[in-house]
């Protein structure tokens, strides 16, 4: 069964460093998303991506964040200068179509980012 994959599973970085989180969405999916979950809290939307551009982003997704689809398979989230409060689980998701029209968003296993 096709699945979303994410690498690495755990990333430890020092405050101020740049990190790139990688995702491989399901191959025939067209819509890609990043969410984050701070430990013990709810999952929060960061950004959605379609047709090689950002389609929607939340207030969390400030200038320190960027997304890219560098080739036909990968979808990356870059944090330019990490802060302690960026420590969280980051989930990538993909879907065939957008919205609630019976198409679920498939989530990857997540990358746990720890900023020290």
User: In whole angstroms, how close is the CB of 48 to other proteins at the nearest point?
Assistant: 5
Judged by CB under 8 A, the residue of 30, 76, 96, 107 near other proteins is 107
**Per-residue x/- track, 18-47, other proteins (CB under 8 A):** -------------x-x-x-----xxxxx--
Question: What b/e sequence results for 15-26 when a residue is b if at least 16 CB atoms lie within 10 Å of its CB, and e otherwise?
Answer: eeeebebbbbbb
| Residue 85 lies near other proteins (rule: CB under 8 A) | no
When binding is defined by CB under 8 A, the residue of 11, 64, 98, 114 that contacts other proteins is 98
Q: What is the 3 state secondary structure string of 54-108?
A: EEEECCCCCCCEEEECCCCCCEEEEECCCCHHHCEEEEEEEECCCCCCCCCCEEC
Size of the site for other proteins (CB under 8 A): 29
Backbone angles phi, psi at 8, to 5 degrees: -75, 175
Query: Which residues form the interface with other proteins (CB under 8 A)?
Result: 31, 33, 35, 41-45, 48, 50, 55-56, 58, 89, 91, 93, 98-102, 104-110, 112
């Amino acid at each position: 069964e096709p699945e979303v994959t994410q690498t690495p599973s755990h990333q430890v970085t020092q405050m101020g460093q740049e990190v790139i989180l990688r995702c491989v969405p399901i191959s025939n999916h067209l819509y890609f998303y990043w969410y984050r979950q701070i430990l013990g809290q709810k999952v929060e939307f960061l950004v959605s991506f379609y047709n090689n551009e950002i389609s929607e982003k939340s207030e969390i997704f400030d200038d320190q964040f960027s997304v890219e689809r560098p080739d036909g398979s990968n979808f990356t989230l870059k944090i330019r200068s990490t802060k302690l409060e960026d420590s969280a689980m980051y989930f990538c998701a993909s879907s065939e179509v957008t919205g609630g029209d019976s198409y679920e968003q498939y989530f990857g296993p997540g990358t746990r980012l720890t900023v020290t």
